[in-house]
Amino acid sequence: MALKISSAQMVQSARDRIEEIETPDLIKMVEDPNVVIVDIRDPRERERTGFIPGSFHAPRGMIEFWVDPEGPYFKDIFGQPDKKYVFHCASGWRSAITVATLQDMGFEAAHLKEGFSTWEKQGGPVEFKAPKP
């Protein structure tokens, strides 16, 4: 069965209209208190490959609900109008679609173009959650 639009086309369409941040540029922003880095990867991905220190974990399936100030699942971290939000996944596909959707809702954000896949290779700091005793 042919789809009306492929996932690759969805990603490209999103990328054509959102702000993409290169890995070295986000590395420079890691400690900026005005930047909120949001990791939308699955918890197992974060456990396996680590995460950007200080990043906020928001599973992809909850983003639209967590950013909606009128919804029952709203998270206060998304109610800071003076912050720059940068979303990321592993390769930049999920985060591109996510950011495009958020912009449709009226929530301004950017995404990490190449995702977490190049983060450590390009000198980005990585943290791992301590194992449970």
pLDDT digits (tens, 9 = 90+) for 32-62: 999 999 999 999 999 999 999 999 999 999 9
CATH number at residue 74: 3.40.250.10
Q: Model's pTM, two decimal places?
A: 0.94
Does 133 map to a domain? no
Number of separate domains in the chain:
1
Does 130 map to a domain? no
Q: Exposed (0-12), middle (13-18) or buried (19+): which is 9, by Cβ within 10 Å?
A: exposed
Find, among 19, 22, 23, the residue nearest to 124 by Cα. Answer: 23
Does 104 map to a domain? yes
pLDDT averaged over the chain?
95
pLDDT category of residue 129 using cuts at 50, 70 and 90 = confident
